[in-house]
Structure 1
Amino acid sequence: MVRANRRLLRARYGRYEGGPDPLAAPVDLTEALDAIGEDVMAGSSPERAMREFLRRGGSDRAGLDDLARRVAERRRDLTRKHNLDGTLQQVKELLEKAVLAERKQLARDTEMDDGDRMLAEMQLDALPASPAAAVSELGAYDWKSSEARADFEKIKDLLGREMLDQRFAGMKDALENATDEDRAAITEMMTDLNALLDAHTRGEDTPEQFDEFMRKHGDYFPDNPTTIDELLDSLARRAAAAQRMRNSMSQEQRDELDALAQQAFGSPELMQSLSQLDGTLRALRPGENWGGSEQMDGEQGLGLGDGTGVFQDIAELDALSDQLSQSYEGSRMDDLDLDALSRQLGDEAAVDARTLQQLEKALRDSGTLKRGSDGQLKLTPKAMRQLGKALLRDVASRMSGRQGNRDLRQAGAAGERSGATREWAFGDTEAWDVTRTITNALTRTAGEGGDTTAGIRIEIGDVEVQETEARTQACVALLVDTSFSMAMDGRWVPMKRTALALHSLITSRFRGDDLQLIAFGRHAEVMDIEQLTGLDAQYDKGTNLHHALLLANRHFRKHPNAQPVLLVVTDGEPTSHLEASGDVFFSYPPHPVTVAVAVRELDNSMRLGAQTTFFRLGEDPGLARFIDSMAKRVGGTVVAPELDDLGAAVVSSYLSSRRSGGSGGAGEDFDGMFGRGWGRWG
């Protein structure tokens, strides 16, 4: 038992790496749905709107565009920071160091024959400027300085390690201070690798042959490939990056390195094996980018191995850029390589990307979006309800902007008791529920340690009132202008938001009421809420109020026992009407007949008992005079809200008309319902 406890004390905890964090909070779809709904109402398809939100990101999370920007910045930093002279500069430095040490030794060696000293100095003086040519000439030089000989041997060692590091990542460090035995092991590995790949090219390799190769040489492959194809993919990516690095060099740099390469490890056979490997990889993986190049003009020199790693990073960044663009056919957030993103931008970027993946999956799987018969994503009724609730909350905040104003979700001030109670709020006129109020006071007093036998004191927080339901069923027609000017002047989305908010209120809180949405442009049409919110901007000229009123009056006649409520949102005078033949007549300026038939249908609405409110958008004086005269004719109300307040204005007018039950104007009971000092919309 003691031993087990000690093991527990030695336990260490690290980052969870078994998939998505099981303790992470669920993805919140509220912000995403609001943004998607806004774009859909502005004319975007749900698919495009979802992708746009994923690109922008949320208020507290990075989007694809931000991640793509960071990928582009890192790529730009890599190309601007580095140049490709690293190995050549190292060779030059080692060469200069060796020659200097040799000159010092020649000057100090008093026992050396003067003729030999002079000949050696002449050889050193005559070295060509080309490092490759100088190294070649010094290959047979009889070094007098052991320090100089060691530095010169480092050149061959460096070249061999760099050449191998280009094909096998990490080989440069692994082979530092390599022995002859190490070099022999490398030669054996290269021989076995080329034999394995040759057999694979001929289709004669076996899994056992691959397993045997990995058993002998697996230490050279830290990514631990499990099949020959994985091995090929890894080698080909690295070799293609090395080739792109070579392509990016100047011809002079390539010539120097080609000449120096023959000195690598003092073994021309190594270069032959590497050349054979490159040829095989090109043949087996022609789809890799073997022909690309980059402009590398920074100050920090790159060796061949490190440079190949940088070119691999650039290739990985290019792949990430494509994945983050999501612009190709069938693209999904699951395409993102989170491991690559973590390597290039850090763990935080990978967390942001994983959150976006989860968000996309949640949107597709939560019933928010569905695939229609045409293959396109569509907002589901569930999504419409969520959007409507969000818009209704916004309307409530606008209508309850002052302390003490009532919440939209609470029941009306008049009508039959619903049996439910709620806490009293400023402005309430409902009867108290005495039993609940006294019980609350007793409970509070006892909880505070007071003596309930000596009497209790009722406080405001104890009071509960009886909720009521309005006695009158309403028959509501919301007429929304969908003419050219509504789209042109930026009123399209506020109009849709208003319709959705009113629809959500009626379907969730006043299910006994019957709402009909009527869109009128050149002609009018009854629409369900999904059709209206997804409606593209209409650019046909015409405002057919006559046709819309015809449809509204038909709706009212179908519900003779309900209170008709007529709500008209428009930004223009009627310019078209429906003729007896069913054709649409259009004229601008408005034709007298168009105005006359619209007025006639409005009179019919009045005779049906409709309470009418016009919501005038825009500041056109002619429109204002026309709307005012229409409203005065039928005893209606005119509201001229700002666009942001349109939804609140329509909802408050509906509630006011509903609660007044036919007794008085649209705004008569407003202050009693929402508190005094609300002010005027217009």
Structure 2
Amino acid sequence: MTADPAGRPEYPSSDRWNYGPWHDGPDPLAPPVDLRDALEQLGRDVMNGSSPRSALEELLRRGTDGTQGLDDLTRRLWEQRSRIQRRNNLDGTLTEVRELLDRALTAEKRALFPDPSDDARFREAQLDALPTGTAAAVNELANYDWQSDEARAAYEQIRDKLGQDLMESRFQGMKQALEQMSPEDVERIRRMMADLNDLLLAHLRGDDTDERFQAFMREHGEFFPENPRTVEELIDALAARSAAAQRMMNSMSAEQRAELAELMGNAFGDPRLAEQVSTLDANLRALRPGEDWTGSARMRGNNPLGMGEGAQAMQDLAELDALAEQLSQSYPGARLEDIDLEALQRQLGDEAGVDARRLSELEREMRRAGLLERAADGSLQLSPKALRRLGETALSDVLSAMRSRKGERDTANAGAAGEPTGATRPWEFGSTEAWDVSRTLRNAVLRSASAGEARIGIEVADVEVVETEQRARAAVALCVDTSWSMVQDDRWLPMKRTALALHQLISTRFRSDELQLITFGRQAATVDIGELTALEGVWEQGTNLHHALLLAGRHLRRHPGAKPVVLVVTDGEPTAHLEPDGEAEFHYPPTPRTLRKTLAEVDALAKLGASVTVFMLGEDPRLAEFVDIVARRGGGRVVNPDIDGLGSAVVGDYLRTRRSGRR
């Protein structure tokens, strides 16, 4: 970007933009995290009885639409781990050396056969007398004068193969650099190993090795493609590889280990190299004792791995185990940021890394958006903002169900012919409220300007009307049954969603109304919407409707000028009542005393002008008989909705009662 003489920025024209491939970091074209869907899932689990922390963990384990959860990623890790063990075995180096040895012996005997000399017969006898073990035979032939060029080349391949595998097992990514090795290259490797061991020994003594490390990397950096920046990074990389090579050896049979150890003296035909590797392993074990030097893994497949490939397989298994622990999030202080995204992409591909990153963003954004907060005791809880969003969703679902059943709109009648609330809403067919002229004109101007229209005209979509609320106030008591049967019969979540919907309706559309939420099991209690949402089901006998109605009457008396509305959601007849000393008395079947005390509260509410509407869940004949009595005594109603229709029934009855003229 440049600037004109006046200092104003000049942006390049569209034909000067350059676009290139995206290599790393968050995808700039990825859709934003869907917090509403995530909150809906989290809220559902919380209302079903999970703690917010457990619900968040479950959401991350389960994932969201289009994003794999931690459980799916973990399952894929274990499948990858099983695949490595199921397909491979660790005798690749031994097998290949045996094949090269057989090829060398066959070629040498083929060359000796036509030679009639005694020397040829002697050489044949030497070859026939070789030990049966591969390592012993290779060592026996170390000074043999090969007569066949093909045999000599095959034997030299053995030495090169052993050298390449030995180095690749300790230095990741050196396989290509070790091909076509000359004697000078071998000497260069041996010198690097000697310098490396001197550097590690000095570091182990506690010497300042910074300058020594820099000099070492300048001379031998070509052997370390991972490009460590400090001696500690160098040690970390080497120790992980060396420990993996040791676990590979631990996974072999005792015979295989002995055979391979004996063969390593022939690496590049220089026994000093194997000695340097042994010293390197000892130094690294002393510097990083916390690495897994004693583990092993059973390899039971048919694909033979060489030493370098075997060490890589062991590193992959260790990486898979570490990733599985990170994904489990089961250790103290675990965070999704702990997941090694590069390692996850190496093992499962780029898409797995994208999914893990999006899960981390989801957790971070839920906190940043204020949907989760810490309570005074340090526990995680849904914030008021989250509860409002859950209420919006619950209310929207309820109103949609009401419209589909009755053809009603959610707000057309809510504020007709009442006091302005200060808010506006888009005009809908049938709206009777006055236009908000200033907002309507503003919408028209903005729309016309954005479309480049010279003239300003008003369209239906521009019109907003003044939202009003009815002048009458209501005191509403919603009493919800929290006995164990509500949990047992899958009525717990619908009950909470109903309370959320009613709370949202009253707090946004009828703000002058006073809502009291009352729960009743063995005893009754007044709760706020947050407490009700997070309420866990408890195994407790008792349906104390008597106590709930007592609390409802107390709420109505605190608001004498308001229209009294009492709504009861229950799935069982009253089986408990409150004694004068405050203790709850439980009996099943219910005693006449419990029924009398409960009906006495129904009569007391009737004197306050309130009728009790009971939403009876289930088909209990004893409950049906009792609620019929309640309806007759108090002039109320009995509604028997199904679970899916509970919210619509409660909200609809509240609106119907509120619009009616009765007190």
- Find out whether 1:604 has 2:611 as its counterpart: no
2:652 aligned partner, one-letter code:
S
- Find out whether 1:167 has 2:170 as its counterpart: yes
Partners of 1:253 and 1:500 lie apart in 2 by 68
Q: CA deviation at 1:468?
A: 4.8
* Structure 1 stretch displaced more, 43-52 or 280-289: 43-52
* Structure 1 stretch displaced more, 382-391 or 137-146: 137-146
Aligned to 1:679: none
Partners of 2:469 and 2:509 within 8 A in 1: no
Q: CA deviation at 1:540?
A: 2.4
Aligned to 2:67: 61
Aligned to 2:500: 500
Partners of 2:436 and 2:466 within 8 A in 1: no
For residues 418-567 of structure 1, the aligned pairs below 5 Å read 418=420, 422-425=426-429, 428=430, 430=432, 468-567=468-567
2:347 aligned partner, one-letter code:
Q
Q: CA deviation at 1:341?
A: 0.3
Partners of 1:144 and 1:9 lie apart in 2 by 71
Q: Deviations over 1:260-286 (max 9, x none)?
A: 111111111111111011001011100
Aligned to 2:289: 286
Q: CA deviation at 1:435?
A: 9.8
Aligned to 1:449: none
Q: CA deviation at 1:116?
A: 2.2
Q: CA deviation at 1:254?
A: 0.8
Partners of 2:305 and 2:16 lie apart in 1 by 46
- Find out whether 1:262 has 2:269 as its counterpart: no
Q: Which residue among 388, 399, 403 is the counterpart of 2:402?
A: 399
Partners of 1:196 and 1:205 within 8 A in 2: no
Q: Deviations over 1:630-657 (max 9, x none)?
A: 1122221111111222122111111111
Q: Where do 5+ consecutive residues of structure 2 fail to align?
A: 1-11, 449-457
Instruction: Summarize the Cα distance change of 1:172–1:421 in structure 2 as closer, same or farther, 3 Å threshold.
Output: closer
Instruction: Summarize the Cα distance change of 1:434–1:501 in structure 2 as closer, same or farther, 3 Å threshold.
Output: closer
Q: CA deviation at 1:573?
A: 1.2
Partners of 1:545 and 1:598 within 8 A in 2: yes
Partners of 1:16 and 1:106 lie apart in 2 by 61
Q: CA deviation at 1:114?
A: 3.1
CA RMSD across the alignment:
2.8
Partners of 2:432 and 2:203 lie apart in 1 by 87
Q: Which residue among 223, 246, 250 is the counterpart of 1:247?
A: 250
Aligned to 1:323: 326
Q: Deviations over 1:487-526 (max 9, x none)?
A: 3322222222211111111111111111001111122111
Aligned to 2:31: 25
* Structure 1 stretch displaced more, 126-135 or 83-92: 126-135
* Structure 1 stretch displaced more, 262-271 or 22-31: 22-31
For residues 34-49 of structure 1, the aligned pairs below 5 Å read 34-49=40-55
For residues 660-675 of structure 1, the aligned pairs below 5 Å read 660-662=660-662
Q: CA deviation at 1:466?
A: 7.4
Partners of 1:430 and 1:466 within 8 A in 2: no
- Find out whether 1:336 has 2:342 as its counterpart: no
Aligned to 2:615: 615
Q: CA deviation at 1:119?
A: 2.1
Partners of 1:163 and 1:305 within 8 A in 2: yes
Helix, strand or coil: the match of 1:370? strand
Aligned to 2:389: 386
Aligned to 2:410: 408
Partners of 2:412 and 2:432 within 8 A in 1: no
Partners of 1:653 and 1:9 lie apart in 2 by 64
1:85 aligned partner, one-letter code:
D
Partners of 1:20 and 1:70 lie apart in 2 by 23
Partners of 1:464 and 1:256 lie apart in 2 by 87
Partners of 1:421 and 1:433 within 8 A in 2: no
Q: Deviations over 1:209-228 (max 9, x none)?
A: 11001111111111111111
* Structure 1 stretch displaced more, 275-284 or 466-475: 466-475
Partners of 1:480 and 1:568 within 8 A in 2: yes
Partners of 1:467 and 1:263 lie apart in 2 by 91
Partners of 1:432 and 1:463 within 8 A in 2: no
Partners of 1:217 and 1:407 lie apart in 2 by 78
- TM-score, structure 1 normalization: 0.88
Q: CA deviation at 1:21?
A: 3.6
Q: CA deviation at 1:338?
A: 0.3
- Find out whether 1:186 has 2:189 as its counterpart: yes
Partners of 1:371 and 1:377 within 8 A in 2: yes
2:144 aligned partner, one-letter code:
Y
Aligned to 2:454: none
2:408 aligned partner, one-letter code:
R
Instruction: Summarize the Cα distance change of 1:621–1:531 in structure 2 as closer, same or farther, 3 Å threshold.
Output: same
Q: Deviations over 1:581-630 (max 9, x none)?
A: 33322222111121112111111212212243110011111111111221
Partners of 2:426 and 2:461 within 8 A in 1: no
Aligned to 2:311: 308
Aligned to 2:453: none
Partners of 1:143 and 1:149 within 8 A in 2: yes
Partners of 2:387 and 2:464 lie apart in 1 by 33
Partners of 1:44 and 1:254 lie apart in 2 by 52
Partners of 2:571 and 2:616 within 8 A in 1: yes
Aligned to 1:452: none
* Structure 1 stretch displaced more, 33-42 or 118-127: 118-127
Partners of 1:567 and 1:613 within 8 A in 2: yes
Instruction: Summarize the Cα distance change of 1:421–1:121 in structure 2 as closer, same or farther, 3 Å threshold.
Output: closer
Q: Deviations over 1:10-49 (max 9, x none)?
A: 96722242x3344543322112211211121222111111
Partners of 1:539 and 1:10 lie apart in 2 by 66
Q: Deviations over 1:166-187 (max 9, x none)?
A: 1111223211111111111101
Q: Deviations over 1:216-273 (max 9, x none)?
A: 1111111111111111110000000000000000111111111111111111111111
Aligned to 2:100: 94
Q: Deviations over 1:331-361 (max 9, x none)?
A: 1111100010011101100000000111111
Aligned to 1:668: none
1:587 aligned partner, one-letter code:
H
Partners of 2:168 and 2:175 within 8 A in 1: yes
Partners of 1:422 and 1:466 within 8 A in 2: no
Percent identity of paired positions between Structure 1 and Structure 2: 54
Partners of 2:493 and 2:425 lie apart in 1 by 37
- TM-score, structure 2 normalization: 0.91
Partners of 1:464 and 1:295 lie apart in 2 by 72
Partners of 2:162 and 2:499 lie apart in 1 by 74
Instruction: Summarize the Cα distance change of 1:596–1:309 in structure 2 as closer, same or farther, 3 Å threshold.
Output: same
- Find out whether 1:114 has 2:117 as its counterpart: yes
Q: CA deviation at 1:470?
A: 2.0
Partners of 1:196 and 1:544 lie apart in 2 by 78
Partners of 2:42 and 2:59 within 8 A in 1: yes
Aligned to 2:208: 205
Partners of 2:369 and 2:459 lie apart in 1 by 45
Instruction: Summarize the Cα distance change of 1:160–1:503 in structure 2 as closer, same or farther, 3 Å threshold.
Output: same
Partners of 1:599 and 1:630 within 8 A in 2: yes
Helix, strand or coil: the match of 1:401? helix
Q: Deviations over 1:124-160 (max 9, x none)?
A: 3333332112212222222111111011111011101
Partners of 1:167 and 1:239 within 8 A in 2: yes
For residues 131-170 of structure 1, the aligned pairs below 5 Å read 131-170=134-173
